[in-house]
Structure 1
Amino acid sequence: MDAPARSWPPSVGDYAERQGLFRLLQNMLEELLIHKPEDPVQFMIEHLEQHNDDAPRIFILGPPASGKTTMAIQLCKHLDAIRISQETLLSKETLALTKEAKAYKERKQQIPNALWANLIRERLSNVDCIKQGWILEGFPENQEQARLLQSSGIIPRHVVVLYAADTMLIERNSGKRLDPLTEEVYHTTFDWPSDVQIQQRLVKPDVTEEEMSKQLLEYHRNFPGVFHIYHKILRSINADQPCVDVISQALTYVQTQPRSAAPFTPRILFCGPPGSGKSLQAALIAQKYGVVNICCGQLLKEAVADKTKLGELVKPYIDNGYPVPDNMVMKILERRLNAPDCMTKGWVLRGFPRDIEQAERLQKACIIPNRLLLMVEVGLVKSWVQQLRRSLMSASFQVSRKRKKKNFYF
């Protein structure tokens, strides 16, 4: 495999990296191993035609009253994904297994884990979930359910787990109110709706404090097994904080791309003020990893010394100590970074860009680094920390004043 790869043009690897071909092939291979179709080629063709590999696949987990429903609804609004929960599955009359699951519930029997897994798989195979992505709320509840989902090919990319103290969750549950029309959750103290019509149709969940304690005990007993399966893609978020902060942390996490095992050509950009150590660190990285070390200022001097056409144009600016126009710098830099050694080995660049306009020129030229290192002075960091502390103290004072009027819990 390695020998033919060395004969490929450098542009082939660059194209594969930019288009995410490694991740695409990895996803297709996973689907092949899970479904084991009789005709693998036709299966892959249908996968490319129907599936959206960039669609969100998210689990929202947590103890009762931790805000899973609120979290799932808000994330679905931001990501345009389909929300899946046990309640929505039982209300989906078009699913073949819904009647069987409802029969268990009417007899007040526990729905088997295998039936839940098959019901979820049937729902996620619908076109809307395939195209838009999905957010599964409150499931799996134990390790057996997680194993069944894995064997059914239901593998999330992100798992968000909400947590809070049991005493707070019990208190929150006592004031919890549910809107049966929109399935949104409100609270009598922390989040009461201003619309009178919504207030009139709110219902109180039929869960006593004793039942809530049992549910919390069951959750704490089962969650370690679930954590063991999803710990590599799991993010825990404290639910005992303002709702906006919880949603913001979850949204930031689910919008990050999972770490890829794909090979890539290093394109490293060093930024920082003069004297911050960019040259030394760039030289060490170039020596250790075998990448091309490029200094923009040195590159301009070499162009002048070689007496190229661009070098003749740049020479008067350098001799007189004037900054070289960005368009000239970009032509020299683009020619160097597109050279075969840079395309094959990768590069580490310093001295450019120095402002937003230059960075935009790099992007327009399709020169996009995949690693950015910012070198800053300790004194500058301390001043930033002091400014941040002052702003946080001011913000906390304003929030404390607002909380006297209204609490921001779920």
Structure 2
Amino acid sequence: MDASKKPLRISPELGVYAEKHGVFQMLQRMLQCLLVDKPMDPIQFMIDHLKKVNDEVPRIFLLGPPVTGKLTVAKLLCDRINTNLLTLDSMLADVKSEFANEINRLNSKSKEIPNTLWAKLILEWLSKTDCIKRGWVLVGYPRTREQAIALQEMGIAPEHVVILDAPDTVLIERNLGKRIDMITGDIYHTIFNWPTSNKIQKRLEKPDGITEEETVKRLLEYRRVSHGILNSYRKKYHIVNADQPSVDVLSQVLSHVQSRHRSIAPYTPRIILHGPPGCGRSLQAALLAQKYRIVNVSCGQLLKESVAAETRFGEAIKPYVESRQPVPDVMVLKCISQRLSKLDCSTLGWVMHGFPQDIGQAEMLKDAGFIANRVFFLEVPDDAVIERITMRMTDPVMGERYHSIYKPAPTSEVCSRCKVNPKDSEENMQAALEMYHANVEDLEQFYNPVIHVNADQDPYTVFEYIESCVVKPLPKQTSVFI
């Protein structure tokens, strides 16, 4: 920070570091914990928080009406993300817990269990070291708004809330076929999940409460109070249709719990667009720059501007540009570094295309301190690339660009005077595509994670997808949380 200038300017490196390590989100989470726990020694509390808490671990509520397969999906989800599965039954089985013993005592006397007692039991489990380190998935609780408020008063706040739901008629029919293995506790179904072992089939029994009347009663009770849960977690919940194969349900649940919520942290876009010739990088960069007021950095355009300005640098690269030879990487990097170092790029952000084109250039850009936070690969089939490039032409009189298929010349006179750029020949395009494919895999690995975009469609559809990935936080990189 430069204290000699007004207003004070913060070094761009600080912003890159804070974004990379999630400093803002970490401080936000610590402040939330301080307000909830209200420790006597806040400083020591924050030190202990940093030592033991991993804010990236999953904290998930998996809710929904009866018979939606919550437990089945939860088991599959916990196996995929390596986290702890918590159910009310498993917590009540802990004979060492005073809260569990008190709830069991009240249950035996058919007395109502206070919501605060449930919340204390859940907090006891969530405070265990394994839940702190690996996270948790809580199944089937809370069921009402009052229970949700009791959890919130204890400082229990999920990162994601997943609600499985399906039409009542489907749930009633599904419940009628439910069977339980009384030895293992596994749940089966006469249609959807029947065991292959004859031994298991013989010991399956009908559970209590699966008649149509009882199921309808439970569903009506759930529908009566479900709006309270939605209101309690209206910014975090996501409803998944449970009337589909469990694999598809798991895929949608996994996609949601890997997403990150929108953050109010300062964010400066630093975008790189990769793709073969003719994929539309220039157009997408122009659209992004226009809408979000970021700087459009075109490598080729920068080099041409330097030559036209007749600067010392421009004179140095002029022979390469005029002879259509590649400009040395060191000189290209110098030109790009000068542009990206300017105040508008540092404060507003930038979108760059045309560089880097191989792993060596990518490493040089990284070493220079310019690190992108979004990297897109625009994918177009080779045949479509050749069709896009080789059939385009320019009217030398009016300067308009046309295409034999997508934008033909308006008259035969205009068509007759149109010229095709020699570099757009099919032979040159084949060579450019071979070079691109030779480097694309290394670049994808270098910039992992990258975002792949199908650019063989309407350019504004492509822009909408790119835009959504720019404004939303990137999902967690892997499906396994450590």
Q: Same fold (TM over 0.5)?
A: yes
How far did 1:321 drift?
2.4
Match of 2:158 among 134, 151, 156: 156
Q: Does the 8 Å CA contact 1:60/1:160 hold for their aligned counterparts?
A: yes
Match of 2:115 among 110, 113, 116: 113
Q: Does the 8 Å CA contact 2:274/2:375 hold for their aligned counterparts?
A: no
Deviates more, 1:285-294 or 1:103-112: 285-294
Is 2:231 the counterpart of 1:228? yes
Q: How does 1:164-313 map to 2 (within 5 A)?
A: 164-179=166-181, 183-196=185-198, 198-199=200-201, 202-209=204-211, 210-270=213-273, 279=282, 282=285, 286=289, 289-302=292-305, 305-308=310-313, 312=316
Which residue identity is paired with 1:82?
N
Which residue identity is paired with 1:27?
R
Change (3 A) 1:316 1:192: farther
Q: How does 1:362-381 map to 2 (within 5 A)?
A: 367-370=371-374, 380-381=456-457
Q: Could you say which residue in structure 2 is the equivalent of 1:139?
A: 141
How far did 1:38 drift?
1.1
How far did 1:345 drift?
3.0
SS at match of 1:16: helix
SS at match of 1:97: helix
Q: Does the 8 Å CA contact 1:60/1:137 hold for their aligned counterparts?
A: yes
Deviation track 1:229-276 (CA, whole Å, cap 9, x = no partner) reads: 112111111111111111001101100111111111122345677778
Deviation track 1:5-48 (CA, whole Å, cap 9, x = no partner) reads: 83322211221111111100010000011111111111111111
Which residue identity is paired with 2:249?
V
Q: How does 1:278-357 map to 2 (within 5 A)?
A: 279=282, 282=285, 286=289, 289-302=292-305, 305-308=310-313, 312=316, 315-324=318-327, 329-330=332-333, 332-334=335-337, 336-352=339-355
How far did 1:93 drift?
2.3
- Structure 1: where are the runs of 5+ without partners? 386-410
Deviates more, 1:268-277 or 1:178-187: 268-277
How far did 1:315 drift?
4.6
Q: Could you say which residue in structure 2 is the equivalent of 1:27?
A: 29
How many positions carry a matched residue from both structures?
381
SS at match of 2:235: helix
Distance 1:191 1:362 in 2: 54
Q: Does the 8 Å CA contact 1:362/1:368 hold for their aligned counterparts?
A: no
The two structures have a TM-score, normalised by structure 2, of 0.70
Distance 2:210 2:111 in 1: 19
Q: Does the 8 Å CA contact 1:178/1:184 hold for their aligned counterparts?
A: yes
Q: Which has the higher helix share?
A: 1
The percentage of aligned residue pairs carrying the same residue is 49
Distance 1:164 1:212 in 2: 14
Distance 1:284 1:278 in 2: 10
Change (3 A) 1:181 1:344: farther
Match of 2:50 among 24, 48, 51: 48
SS at match of 1:160: strand
How far did 1:353 drift?
5.3
Change (3 A) 1:10 1:182: farther
Which residue identity is paired with 1:217?
L
Q: Does the 8 Å CA contact 1:69/1:185 hold for their aligned counterparts?
A: no
Q: Does the 8 Å CA contact 1:84/1:135 hold for their aligned counterparts?
A: yes
Q: Could you say which residue in structure 1 is the equivalent of 2:473?
A: none
Distance 1:26 1:120 in 2: 24
Change (3 A) 1:11 1:176: same
Q: Could you say which residue in structure 1 is the equivalent of 2:434?
A: none
Which residue identity is paired with 1:252?
S
Q: Radius of gyration: which is bigger?
A: 2
Distance 1:360 1:244 in 2: 40
Q: Could you say which residue in structure 1 is the equivalent of 2:129?
A: 127
Q: Does the 8 Å CA contact 2:279/2:378 hold for their aligned counterparts?
A: no
The two structures have a TM-score, normalised by structure 1, of 0.81
Distance 2:147 2:95 in 1: 23
Distance 2:315 2:140 in 1: 64
Change (3 A) 1:274 1:206: same
Q: Does the 8 Å CA contact 1:142/1:222 hold for their aligned counterparts?
A: yes
Q: Does the 8 Å CA contact 1:11/1:343 hold for their aligned counterparts?
A: no
How far did 1:174 drift?
1.7
Distance 2:379 2:311 in 1: 32
Which residue identity is paired with 2:373?
P
Deviation track 1:100-153 (CA, whole Å, cap 9, x = no partner) reads: 011122223343222111111111011111110010101110110111111111
Which residue identity is paired with 2:23?
L
Distance 1:151 1:258 in 2: 22
Change (3 A) 1:234 1:182: farther
Which residue identity is paired with 1:295?
S
Match of 2:79 among 77, 83, 86: 77
Distance 2:341 2:133 in 1: 37
Which residue identity is paired with 1:139?
Y
Deviation track 1:45-85 (CA, whole Å, cap 9, x = no partner) reads: 11111111100011111110101001111111011111111
Distance 1:322 1:276 in 2: 22
Change (3 A) 1:145 1:24: same
Which residue identity is paired with 1:133?
G
How far did 1:325 drift?
6.5
Deviates more, 1:166-175 or 1:107-116: 107-116
Which residue identity is paired with 2:457?
V
Please give the root-mean-square deviation of Cα atoms over the aligned residues, in Å.
Answer: 3.5
Q: Which has the higher contact order (CA 8 A, sep 6+)?
A: 1
Deviation track 1:321-350 (CA, whole Å, cap 9, x = no partner) reads: 245566764564355435554233321223
